[in-house]
Amino acid sequence: MSYLLSYIVAKLGGELVGPDITIERLAPLDAAGPGALTFLANPKYRKQLDGTAASAVIVSPDMAEAAAGRSLIVARDPYLYFAQVATLFHPTPVAVPGIHPRAVVGEDSRVGGSSEVREGVSIGRNTVIGERCRLLPGVVVGDDVVLGDDVVLHPNVTIYAGCRIGSRVTVHAGTVIGSDGFGLAWAKDHWFKIPQTGVVVIGDDVEIGANTTIDRGAMADTVIANGVKIDNLVQIAHNVHIGEHTAIAGCVGIAGSTHIGAYCTVGGAAMFVGHIEIADRTHIGGGTLVSKSIRKPDNYASSYPLSTMKDWLSNAVHLRHLDDYVERLKKIEREVGALRNSEEDKE
Amino acid sequence: MSYLLSYIVAKLGGELVGPDITIERLAPLDAAGPGALTFLANPKYRKQLDGTAASAVIVSPDMAEAAAGRSLIVARDPYLYFAQVATLFHPTPVAVPGIHPRAVVGEDSRVGGSSEVREGVSIGRNTVIGERCRLLPGVVVGDDVVLGDDVVLHPNVTIYAGCRIGSRVTVHAGTVIGSDGFGLAWAKDHWFKIPQTGVVVIGDDVEIGANTTIDRGAMADTVIANGVKIDNLVQIAHNVHIGEHTAIAGCVGIAGSTHIGAYCTVGGAAMFVGHIEIADRTHIGGGTLVSKSIRKPDNYASSYPLSTMKDWLSNAVHLRHLDDYVERLKKIEREVGALRNSEEDKE
Amino acid sequence: MSYLLSYIVAKLGGELVGPDITIERLAPLDAAGPGALTFLANPKYRKQLDGTAASAVIVSPDMAEAAAGRSLIVARDPYLYFAQVATLFHPTPVAVPGIHPRAVVGEDSRVGGSSEVREGVSIGRNTVIGERCRLLPGVVVGDDVVLGDDVVLHPNVTIYAGCRIGSRVTVHAGTVIGSDGFGLAWAKDHWFKIPQTGVVVIGDDVEIGANTTIDRGAMADTVIANGVKIDNLVQIAHNVHIGEHTAIAGCVGIAGSTHIGAYCTVGGAAMFVGHIEIADRTHIGGGTLVSKSIRKPDNYASSYPLSTMKDWLSNAVHLRHLDDYVERLKKIEREVGALRNSEEDKE
């Protein structure tokens, strides 16, 4: 697969500067050789530009001069442009229509004729699968599920009964959607399970990583809005809502009934307690414990700074006595105030 | 499915106040309409009581007066009562007896005649499955496993060889029970694997969430006692013991050989180091790093409080110098003491 | 299975002291009975030595005298020696050659004649599986994958297309290798997916726990070097490199493009931000947030110390004002300095 730069520009926009050559592959700035197209998005890598053997570079308008001397595509957002070119070079696999004889499709279920259902797939009863979907080996879809069009379920994904999934949704291997929420009531001497009677509703254009878990709601539903992107090993508890186009990195946990707004970003391993609300366009740093609602969009963090074990041992121990130290600081302020006053009285 | 209030009260106890009407569904206080039964457990939602369109409400005795004017069920614990009603409306699916022709059952294994073994299930040799169990598609059970009665294994669950599981146990999709513990001995220039020769023993009435992992013991066993409830994406390492009726929320990690007592609760994303003991009835807050044994039952926490990134940047930096500040505070206390003494000497 | 002590010593080295007896099983010091071989590695368990009913004990040379009176194997590293004996007693299961009729092998794929491919396994096209491999039920291997010899893939493991795995690699159940990295570019009003065109390359002698996820690279590859050991529920993002013989405990997350050196150890639930480098032989404590590169090998930590909730509430609140307190401490130091000077002036 190879493309002329002029073909790429005709397809994706941007301005071609320099000779119109054929591009055979894509590569990062520091590893690109002849025939490769690369990009410069971050000015801090500008030095690598001189050394690159790439045949062509995607640059922003303000970098065009510095990059002169080879073929360039000048584009407002070189990183996004590069991603778009990568999609030309690496198109998504398309469904090979048909239901494998070793798949099982339950009664009253419908699978779109252009969809691909591979060996070892199990589809329950009364389930609807749209067109051009790909259900890869080992996928299990329960009863009464609705899948839109162009949905890709990677191997060993499980979708529990009743869940509704939009179109152009990709779910990576091992992810579980619709398992019971962790709802318990204490009954004198044991936990009584609260039936989890809601489902999971997922919008369009959502991508979910591998081995992630999204629990069904209790009574009401767990809701993942359009355009949300979720990474691997993320836990989303019952009745959580995630707003449109929010992106959630790996190892994040979101406890029950928490609502996260639209256009948020959540760093890896951040944790949210339950029953809180996070404003639209909030950004949470990696490892943050979000312990209360956030009304004001901003960047948030909470973590003890990295230290050598030796430094940590000598410093962190004081955290257990911080209240005492603060009291002592206040006392000494009062005393010094008194001493200063008596000093001034004497003058 | 619908029930008269009088039927519910006859079945579950509590007192019916007001007209005996038919209930068609359950709903939360703020979303309940005509025909719905709801509940008020938390006094802080009392205001919502006036606005609800629910036909009937479960309330505690002290709320009965405030709630008057509609049908009520007065019960000591409205939340638990509601959970019990929900179980009436949403009974657990029962096993459809039979072994699907596309399941594989190994030599010398026995499956109870009333149990359901679905397509794509693999059962090893010399394994015993009790009565009324449900093994859903993609479940893999190894050799020499024992499962009690009324066990539900959701899709793609893996149980390794030799594990023993009690009755009325539910395991959600993708969970792995009995994988090798992380046991390594350093052998000059590489890690030598320590054979993990114990198993996982799980009691009765245990529920385990999705994509959780419970490792087999090394020599001795990993033990999950009766009535324990474990959420999604929890990691339980080799030789851990979890005491009866302890509840563990999502994303928790428990390192090897740690023993957690009975009737504990563990908040989401809490982490336990290995080889420690946690007293019965201890409660661990979300995100806590439990770095040593806890002998005294109480509520425990450890986390840096949530801050804006700006505040975090200006405050957290001082943690690396806390020991220095404390020393300076002590020094200034001594100096002020000396100044005050010399002041008093002069008076 | 039982062995004479003299057989064990002939096989594994060490010195036999006392009668040459037959060993029937292995047990920990505090649970060993007659016929059992145990070991004493940590001097703090020395007291248990007197009480043990074990027939024989593996001890280090400096413990040999204290342990006298029963059969001993004296070895430099009793823990490692015990692990080696355990491997004698519990040999790894060997492959039962053959492809189960309910496995699917794609076109142009080759499976070594001595390898075992169980029911419900799906192998894609143009994939190569070496000799003596074991692919257990529910394993899914994509197209163009290469597996070396003696690879064990436990149930429900997924290997995406194009990944390359060395020899003597074990992957525990539910783990996903080669899922798409979390690569997104913001495109005005939505996230644009960056094609993840690299693969995962895993060396020899690697063991990976259960329900772990390792993403494929974007352009370049994600690389796990020889001898690396990874526990359960670990997330390894795209383009990460893990150096030789590094061991990573459960629940760890490593963000994109981070390079971890060789011979490192990473405690449970530690988290690494992206694009950083960690020096060889660095040791990271459990729960540490590694927020920047580490150039100097040492032990590192970052965590708020465990507290009762009451103490935490009174102490942690001050963290939000630490900068203010430090300023006030500096001010008071200046004032006391001034007071002391004026005091000295008067004297």
User: Span C180-198, mean pLDDT?
Assistant: 96
User: Do residues C140 and C159 make contact, with C-beta atoms less than 8 angstroms apart?
Assistant: yes
- The last residue of one of the domains, among B69, B89, B109, is B89
b/e map of C126-162 (b: 16 or more CB within 10 Å)?
A: bbbbbbbbbbbbbbbbbbbbbbbbbbbbbbbbbbbbb
Tokens of A36: 């490769």
Per-residue pLDDT reduced to its tens digit, A219-258: 899 999 999 999 999 999 999 999 999 999 999 999 999 9
Per-residue pLDDT reduced to its tens digit, A127-179: 999 999 999 999 999 999 999 999 999 999 999 999 999 999 999 999 999 99
Chain C residues closer than 8 Å to A265 by CB: none
Per-residue pLDDT reduced to its tens digit, B5-51: 999 999 999 999 999 999 999 988 888 899 999 999 888 888 888 88
Reported confidence tier of residue B180, pLDDT bands at 50, 70, 90: very high
**Out of B172, B238, B241, B259, which one is annotated catalytic?**
B238
Mutate to test the interface with A, among C102, C194, C241, C320 (most CBs of A within 10 A): C194
Taking an 8 Å cut-off on Cβ atoms, the answer to whether C232 and B235 are in contact is yes
Q: Apex CA B137: angle with CA B135 and CA B140, to 5°? A: 65
Residue A220 domain flag: no
Q: Apex CA A221: angle with CA A219 and CA A227, to 5°? A: 175
From A304's Cα to the closest Cα of chain C, the distance in A is: 5
Nearest alpha-carbon partner for C176 in B320, A46, A145, A233: A233
Residue B9 domain flag: yes
Reported confidence tier of residue B347, pLDDT bands at 50, 70, 90: low
Reported confidence tier of residue A112, pLDDT bands at 50, 70, 90: very high
Residue C223 domain flag: no
From C271's Cα to the closest Cα of chain A, the distance in A is: 7
Helix (H, G, I), strand (E, B) or coil at A311: helix
Domain encompassing residue B20:
3-89
Residue C26 confidence (pLDDT): 92
Residue A45 domain flag: yes
From B243's Cα to the closest Cα of chain A, the distance in A is: 12
Pick from B247, B317, B339: CB nearest A339: B339
Per-residue pLDDT reduced to its tens digit, B248-300: 999 999 999 999 999 999 999 999 999 999 999 999 999 999 999 999 999 99
Q: Does A192 contact C at CB distance below 8 Å?
A: no
Q: Does A309 contact C at CB distance below 8 Å?
A: yes
Please, what sign has the CA dihedral across residues C94, C96, C102, C105?
positive
Residue B102 confidence (pLDDT): 97
pTM of the model: 0.96
| Average pLDDT across chain B, whole number | 95
Q: Is the pLDDT of residue C347 over 70?
A: no
Rounded to 5 degrees, what are φ and ψ at C340? -65, -35
Residue C341 domain flag: yes
Q: Tell me the C-alpha distance between A29 and A111, whole Å.
A: 45
Q: Is the pLDDT of residue C87 over 90?
A: yes
A238 is catalytic: yes
Tokens of A65: 């001069």
User: Do residues C232 and B179 make contact, with C-beta atoms less than 8 angstroms apart?
Assistant: yes
Residue C343 confidence (pLDDT): 78
Q: Is the pLDDT of residue B142 over 90?
A: yes
Q: Which residue has the tokens 């899922």?
A: C179
- The last residue of one of the domains, among A74, A89, A104, is A89
Residues 159-188 of B with CB under 8 A from C: 160, 174-176, 179-180, 182-187
Q: Is the pLDDT of residue A267 over 80?
A: yes
Question: Helices A5-12 and A78-89, interaxial angle, to 10°?
Answer: 110
The CATH number of the domain holding residue A54 is 3.40.1390.10
| Average pLDDT across chain C, whole number | 95
Per-residue pLDDT reduced to its tens digit, C149-168: 999 999 999 999 999 999 99
Residue A347 confidence (pLDDT): 65
User: Span C260-271, mean pLDDT?
Assistant: 98
User: Do residues B17 and B69 make contact, with C-beta atoms less than 8 angstroms apart?
Assistant: no
User: Span C334-340, mean pLDDT?
Assistant: 90
Tokens of B214: 């419970």
Reported confidence tier of residue C43, pLDDT bands at 50, 70, 90: confident
Q: Does A318 contact B at CB distance below 8 Å?
A: yes
Total of domains in chain C: 2
- The last residue of one of the domains, among C89, C115, C133, is C89
Residue A164 domain flag: no
**Out of C154, C238, C241, C259, which one is annotated catalytic?**
C238
Residue A253 confidence (pLDDT): 98
Residue B285 confidence (pLDDT): 96
Q: Is the pLDDT of residue B214 over 90?
A: yes
Residue B148 domain flag: no
Q: Does C265 contact A at CB distance below 8 Å?
A: no
Residue B24 confidence (pLDDT): 95
Q: Which residue has the tokens 């638990």?
A: B80
| Average pLDDT across chain A, whole number | 95
Pick from A28, A82, A308: CB nearest C299: A308
Helix (H, G, I), strand (E, B) or coil at B49: helix
Per-residue pLDDT reduced to its tens digit, C207-249: 999 999 999 999 899 999 999 999 999 999 999 999 999 999 9
Residues 40-79 of C with CB under 8 A from B: 77, 79
Chain B residues closer than 8 Å to C137 by CB: 104, 122, 140
Q: Is the pLDDT of residue A46 over 90?
A: no
B114 class by beta-carbon count within 10 Å (0-12 exposed, 13-18 middle, 19+ buried): middle
Tokens of A182: 């962790």
Residue C52 domain flag: yes
Tokens of A18: 């320099």
Residue of B nearest to C88 (CA): B195
Residue C28 confidence (pLDDT): 86
Per-residue pLDDT reduced to its tens digit, C314-329: 999 999 999 999 999 9
Rounded to 5 degrees, what are φ and ψ at A330? -65, -40
Reported confidence tier of residue B343, pLDDT bands at 50, 70, 90: confident
- Cβ neighbours, 10 Å, residue C88: 16
Q: Does A22 contact B at CB distance below 8 Å?
A: no
